[in-house]
Amino acid sequence: MTEERLRASLSTAGRGVVVATLLVACGGDPAEPVAPVVQPPTVDSLPLRTLADRRGLRIGTAVDRGFRLPGTEGTRFMGVVSREFNVLTPENDMKHDRIHPARTTYRFVSADSLVAFAEANSMRVRGHTLAWHNQLASWLTSGTWTKDEATALLEDHIDNVVGHYRGRILEWDVVNEPFNENGTLRSGFWLDRVGREYIEIAFRKAAAADPIASLFLTDFNIEGINAKSDSAFVLVRDLRAKGVPIHGVGFQAHFQVGGVPSTLAANIARFAALGVKVHFVELDIRVPLPSTTAALQAQAQTYREVFDACLQSPACGLVTIWGFTDRDSWVPNTFAGWGDALPFDASYLPKPAYWAIYNRLK
């Protein structure tokens, strides 16, 4: 791209401030977007989803509040989503408390509009999530239920939610975060009321309700080889041996900068050997706040490592990032003192992390 065209495309986008920095940084030949130069996507730079597609990879993001932003702000937000990503996860809209607010009431309206948005933009949807210990409706958790009643409630929930979107969901996170760090099963409503068979029941019910969707078990801190991922491995192996329909393992991958485990590739490989997909389903890479240039460079390198690992395994077909802009991320609210975990800054401009992903996919 010539300097004139670059300047034109950038000022069309109303980003004159960035132009000056960019032209200085690029030293006159801005043809190649080279990290660490921070520049906005231009008319000539291909969206990540196009680059990923050429690599046989899908790239996703999760959205929540941004999807409901009014006016031009909302348009801008969702413009980035549909330009850059081809998979969409509702960050909260399909969780139990949102979608099933009373025993006999399902509220699909928000998730429906998100799915419709995805379909209108040739994106696929990851359903998130069916059996989890968090964000359960209070009518459920405050009730006193027998084991049979709780089992029926799990089955009814999965039947209705998965059935509602039958044929329209790429992958469901069927069971989310089932393990403690030491590899034992985590206490929570479903385990405590139904027993450990809740896992198998959930997968079988989901497959019955949508035979096309790929069904995933997802957790955090199972990216490397450790006690927790050992248990996940044994569980997936045993479920497969019993003929339970489970098709993938989702590594949440909520990492700290520089925090990709050295055993990641080996861990992907052992799950892949079981015949399941291994996807990154909630990737973000947090840095200490306030972030520094050096930290954002290191973050870019960490993003690159994750995409490397995925590209190097035939079992890995998807990386979903948990959000995309630092304006809207769960990280600062959850990990005190940490943030800026995503590839776009709070003004929706690409950070070094964006260009690291871009260059790795190119």
What is the distance between the alpha carbons of residues 281 and 215, in angstroms, rounded to a whole number?
Answer: 13
Total binding residues for ligand XIL by CB under 6 A?
7
Task: Say whether 182 sits in a helix, a strand or coil.
Answer: coil
Q: Among all residues, whose Cβ is closest to ligand XIL?
A: 330
Question: Residues near 89 by Cβ (< 8 Å), separated by ≥ 6?
Answer: 60, 61, 62, 63, 125, 126, 128, 281, 282, 320
Is 177 annotated as catalytic? yes
62 vs 276 by CB, closer to ligand XIL: 62
Q: How far is the CB of 198 from ligand XIL (least distance, A)?
A: 17
Q: How far is the CB of 173 from ligand XIL (least distance, A)?
A: 7
Q: Which of 84, 177, 223, 305 is catalytic?
A: 177
| Residues β-bridged to residue 175 | 131, 217
Task: Say whether 28 sits in a helix, a strand or coil.
Answer: coil
Q: For the beta carbon of residue 345, count every other beta carbon within 10 angstroms.
A: 18
176 vs 291 by CB, closer to ligand XIL: 176
Among 252, 299, 302, 320, binds ligand XIL (CB under 6 A): 252
Q: How far is the CB of 136 from ligand XIL (least distance, A)?
A: 12
Question: Residues near 92 by Cβ (< 8 Å), separated by ≥ 6?
Answer: 64, 98, 135
Q: Answer yes or no whether residue 64 interacts with ligand XIL by CB under 6 A.
A: yes
Is 155 annotated as catalytic? no
91 vs 326 by CB, closer to ligand XIL: 91
Scanning the structure block, which residue is given the tokens 């790239």? Answer: 59
Tokens of 195: 């027993």
35 vs 199 by CB, closer to ligand XIL: 199
Of residues 265 through 294, those in contact with ligand XIL by CB under 6 A are 282
- Spatial contact of 280 and 320, defined as CB atoms under 8 Å apart: yes
Of residues 69 through 108, those in contact with ligand XIL by CB under 6 A are 91-92
- State the DSSP string of 102-147: BTTB---HHHHHHHHHHHHTT-EEEEEEEE-SSS--HHHHTS---H
Q: Answer yes or no whether residue 221 interacts with ligand XIL by CB under 6 A.
A: no
User: Would you give the binding string for ligand XIL spanning residues 300-339, x where CB under 6 A is met?
Assistant: ------------------------------x---------
Residues assigned a catalytic role: 177, 282
Residues that bind ligand XIL (CB under 6 A): 64, 91-92, 176, 252, 282, 330
